[in-house]
Amino acid sequence: MAALEKQCTLSVHYDRSTPNEVGELKKDLESSDVEKKTKALKRAILLQLNGETLPGVLMTVIRFILPHEDNHLRKLCLVYLEIVDKTGPQGKMLPEMILVCNMIRNELTHPNEYSRGCALRFICKMKEAEILEPLVPTVRQNLEHRHSFVRRNAILAVHMIFRNFEYLIPDAPELVYQFLQGETDVSCRRNAFEMLCQCDEDKAVKYLVHSLEVVSSWGETLQLSALKLIRTICKSKPEEKATFIKLIFELLQSSSASVAFEAANTLFSLSQSTTAVRAAVECYCRLLLSQSDNNIRLILLDRLEEIRTNHLSVMQEVLFDMMRILSSPNLEIRKKVLSLASDLVTSRNAQPIINLIRKEIHGLATEVGDDFEVTLQYRQLLLRFIRNIAMNFPDCVALATSVLEEFVDDELAVVAPDAVIALREVAVKYPHLQSSIIERLGYIVTSGLHNPRVLRGIFWILAEFSSNSDQVNNSFQAVLTVVSPLPLSPHVTKNTETEVFSDVQSVSSDHSFHSVSSKKPKVLADGTYATQTVIEELATGIEKRDLNKQGPAVRSLILGGDYFLGVAVCSAITKLALKSRNLVNKQTSHKMNANAMLLCSSLLRFAQSSEAPSKMDSGSAERIILCILSLTGDVPGDLFLRSSHIAFEEYIRERHKKEDEKLREQAEKDHLQVDEPIEFRILRTQRQFGGLLDYSEHSSALKEWDSNFVEEEDESIEFDLTKVVQLTGRTDPVYAEAHVAVKQYDIILDILVMNQTTDTLQNLTVELATMGDLRLCERPQSHNIGPLDQRSIRTNIKVSSTEAGIIFGTIVYDVAGKASPSRSVILSDIHIDVMDYLHPGVVSDAVFRSLWAEFEWENKIAIQTNIVDLGEYLDFVIRCTNMKCLTPRGLENESGFLAANLYATSIFGEDALLNVSAEKTAQGNIVGFIRIRSKMQGVALSLGDRISSRQNTVK
C-alpha cells in the first residue's frame, strides 16, 4: 500500500497484470513492429500509474524505445520515464538513469526541434538533481537555438531547474535577463519575463522600466504579465505608482479586450482618485459595448455594480453609454443594466432617460416572434423603471406618466395592469396630474380596450379622482358609453332598439305584437319596490344576437359572464353618481342616478336569468345591491366615496413601510460597530503589515497585524442543541450523536462517538451515504478508541439544490485482541430539512403574480387545524415555513376570511411562493387551502409536508 500511495497520481481502470504479462510486455517492446511497441508501452504506462511493479521493463524501454526514430514512440517513452521510479529501495539513483541522461542529452541536441522541445518539457518535470546536473549545459545552449519552440521550452526548463535546485544554475536570472534583451518572439519573451517576476523581481522591474516606451507594442500575453507585475510592485512599494501610472493609462486603450480589462482593474486597485476611477469606468463601458459574449458583459456589469457603491458621481457620467447595452437581446443583461441605472438617475438626466426608454418601448412593438416571453418580461422591467422615475422625480413625472399611459393601451395586454397600478400611485402622490390622467384614461377606455384587469383599474381611477363637474360628467359618460345601450341584455343593442321600436309601431296596428305594462309593485332582492314594463317578443320577432357581438368590449365581457368587471363598473358609476349630487344641477344628477340604478338592476336581473352564461356569485350580487341602496339613500354614500380611498392610502403606506424597512436593514449592514476597526489605507506602513498589502481586502492584513483576528467565514459553527441528532441507542456498544449545521452550500456534521465497552476498538470508521442532491466530500478517517473513551469526527457534505435529503450509514469497527470479524452499528437516518436553506424575501405583487404563473410545481394542502384564530394561524404558517408575508394584515379576524401571499428565497436563488385562502365558519373552525408553488418539485413537497405534519399538533 505504501508503494502504491507513493507513485499513484492517477487511478485508471485496468485489468490486473499477471506474472506472464511482464514477459509479454518485454517481447512486444523488443518487437520491430512500431504498432506493437506503441501498444505495449501504453500498457506499461497504465500499469505503472496504478502501482504495479514491472521488473526489467525499464531497461527494455531504454534499449529498444528511447533510441527509436519514431517521434510518437519517443514521446511516450518520455512519459514513461517521467512516472517510473528513478531510485532504488535505499534511495540511491538507479544505474539505468545514467543511460537515460545520455539519451536525454542526445535528444537535447537532436536536429529535430520537436524532439528538443519534448526533451526540455521532460526536464521541467524532473525532480532528481543527479539527473539534471549533467544536462544543465545542454539546456543553456538551447536558449540560443534558431527555432522559437525550442527557446520557449528552454526558458521553462531553466525556470524549473532554478526554482527546484538553485545551486545547479545560480546565474539563471542574469542569463534570462540577457536573453530578454535580444529575444523577439512574444511567447519566449513572456516565459522569460514570468521567470524573472517569480525568481528575481528586481530584474523584472528593471527590464520593465527600461521598456516603458515600447510596452504598448508588446504582445497581449506579455502585457498581461507586465500588469500583473505592476500590481505586485505597487502594493509592496506604493511610491512606485507614479512610475507606471502613465503606462496603465496607455494600456486602457489597448485593442486587446483582456489587456484593457486588466489595465482597468489594475488602475482601480492602485488609485481611488476621480480621474483614475473615471478612466477605468469608461474602459469597462467601452468593453461592454464592443464585446458580444454575454458572460463577459455580465462580468463587466458586476464590476460596475461594485464601483457604484463608492463612486456614484462617476457612474452617473457614463449612464447613457451603459444604457446603450439595452440593445442586447439577453434578458439578464437588460435586467442588470436597468437595476444599475435605477440608482444613477438624477433630476438632470431623468428626462433624457425617459425619452430613451420611450424609444426602446417603440422598438419593441414588433418583437413578438420566438422571444415573445422574453419581450414581455423586458417590457415589465421598463415599466418598473419608468414607475420609479415617476415616483422619485416630480419634475419629470408628467413625461413619465405619458409613457405609462402608452403601456395602458398596450396591444399585448400583459404589462398594462402594472401600468394602471403605477398611474394610480402617481395620481395619489401628484394631485395636479389627476386631470390629465383621467382625460387620457377616459379616451383609452372608450377606444375598445378589452382587458378586464386593466378596465377594472381604469374604472377605479376615473371614479376615485374625478373631482369637478367636468371630470365627473366626462368620466360618467365614458363609463356609460362602454356599457350602452341599457338595460344590459343580449337582445338589446343600438340596432335592436331601433328595430324594436319600429316593429312595435307596425305590429301594434295589426295586433300581432303586444306590450304588457305591469303596474304591480315588484319586490327586488334588497327588499325595495320597483314598477316594471316588459316588452314581450313574438316567436316571429327579432332573433337573439351572439354575445360576442353585443356592442362595446366591456358590455360584451359582462354579458359573457365577467361579473367581476360588472361589479367594478357598477361601483365606479355609483361613485360618480354620488359625487354629481354636489357638483352638477339636480336634473343632470337625477339622470345620472337613474342610469346608474338601471345599470345595476339590469345586471342583477340578467345574471339571474336563464340567458346568463353562468350565475353570479353572492359576493358580487351583494356589492351591486349595496350600490343600489347607496343611490336610493338607504346606505350612506360615504361608504363608496371614502372607504376605498382610505383603504388604498393604507395600502400605499404599508408598501412604503416595507420599502423603508428594506432600506433600513441595508443601512444597518453598512454600519460599523463601536469596536470594529476602521481602515485608513494612507496610514498603513509596510513594517506594520509585512510589506505586501492588498488594497481591495483588509482581512489578510488584519490577520498579520492581529493574531486574534478571525474572518467571518472562519468563525466556528454556532452550537445549537436543537440540531443534535441521536444516531445510535444508549445500549449499543458504540454510542453516536451528530450536530448538523448548514453553512452556505455545506452541511457540517460533528459526530461524537463514544466507546461504551471495556475493549479497545480499532479501525472504527463512520461510513456515510446520502440520498437526494447531497454529496459526501470526504470519507471520515479511521480511529482507535480506548475503553470508555470518545472521539469527535467532522465531515462535510455539499448541497446542490433546495431539496430535502437523507444521510444514513453505519459504524464499522474491530475489537482489539479478538479474531472475530468486523462489527457494525447501523445509524439512524439524518433528515436534512429544506428550511435550513430558505430565508424570508420581499418581492412586489406584480413579480409574485408573474412567478406564480411561471412555476409549474404546485402542492395543494387542505387546512385541518385546531387553531380558531385566523391571524394566529397565519403566524403559525409564517413560523413553520420561514417565509415573509407580502399581504397587509390586520383585518383577517374582523372580516372572517384570510387571503395572504408569502414568499421566501433559498441560498441557491430559488423562489418559494405560498398562498393561504381560509375562512372562519359559523362553528368557529378554520377551513380552506394552502397552495405552494416553486420551480423545484422538492421545495413544494417539503414545505407542504412540513405544514401538514405540524398544523394538527398546534393548539
What pLDDT band is residue 543 in, cutting at 50, 70 and 90? very low
Which residue in this structure is represented by grid cell 438624477?
346
Query: 3-class DSSP state for residue 153?
Result: helix
User: How far is residue 397 CA from its own chain's centroid?
Assistant: 32
* Other beta carbons within 10 Å of 739: 18
- State percent of the chain over pLDDT 70: 83
What pLDDT band is residue 552 in, cutting at 50, 70 and 90? confident
Separation CA 434–CA 439 (nearest Å)? 9
- Position 914 pLDDT exceeds 90: yes
CB 482 within 8 Å of CB 553? yes
Paired strand residues for 805 = 832
Separation CA 693–CA 238 (nearest Å)? 10
CA distances from 558 to 292, 450, 606 (A): 50, 11, 10
- Position 644 pLDDT exceeds 50: yes
As a whole number, mean pLDDT of residues 209-238 equals 87
- Which of the residue ranges 209-213, 545-549, 635-639, 698-702 has the most confident prediction, judged by mean pLDDT? 209-213
CB 708 within 8 Å of CB 697? no
- 909 CB-side CA count, 13 A: 0
CB 858 within 8 Å of CB 940? yes
What pLDDT band is residue 916 in, cutting at 50, 70 and 90? very high
Separation CA 865–CA 228 (nearest Å)? 65
> For 213-227, 622-636, 659-673, 696-710, which range has the lowest pLDDT when averaged over its residues?
696-710
* pLDDT tens-digit map of 835-867: 777 888 888 777 888 888 888 888 998 988 888
Paired strand residues for 112 = none
As a whole number, mean pLDDT of residues 618-623 equals 87
Query: What pLDDT was estimated at residue 1?
Result: 34
* Average pLDDT taken over every residue of the chain: 79
- Which of the residue ranges 66-75, 306-315, 504-513, 945-954 has the most confident prediction, judged by mean pLDDT? 306-315
Query: What pLDDT was estimated at residue 509?
Result: 35
Separation CA 324–CA 288 (nearest Å)? 9
* pLDDT tens-digit map of 298-329: 999 989 988 888 888 888 888 888 888 888 88
> For 81-85, 186-190, 241-245, which range has the lowest pLDDT when averaged over its residues?
81-85
Query: What pLDDT was estimated at residue 261?
Result: 92
Query: What pLDDT was estimated at residue 681?
Result: 55
Which residue in this structure is represented by grid cell 433624457?
352
* pLDDT tens-digit map of 349-370: 888 888 888 888 877 765 555 5
**289 residue type, one letter:** L
- Position 251 pLDDT exceeds 60: yes
Which residue in this structure is represented by grid cell 485593442?
255
Which residue has better confidence, 940 or 552? 940
* pLDDT tens-digit map of 493-541: 555 444 433 333 333 333 333 333 333 344 333 334 344 433 333 223 3
* pLDDT tens-digit map of 14-32: 555 455 577 878 888 888 8
Query: What pLDDT was estimated at residue 804?
Result: 67
- State percent of the chain over pLDDT 90: 6
SS3 content of the chain, % helix, strand, coil (to 5): 55, 15, 30
Rounded-to-10 torsion of CA 255, 259, 264, 268: -160
Nearest 5°: CA angle at 160, between 155 and 164? 150
Question: What does pTM read for this prediction?
Answer: 0.67
What pLDDT band is residue 108 in, cutting at 50, 70 and 90? confident
Query: What pLDDT was estimated at residue 753?
Result: 92
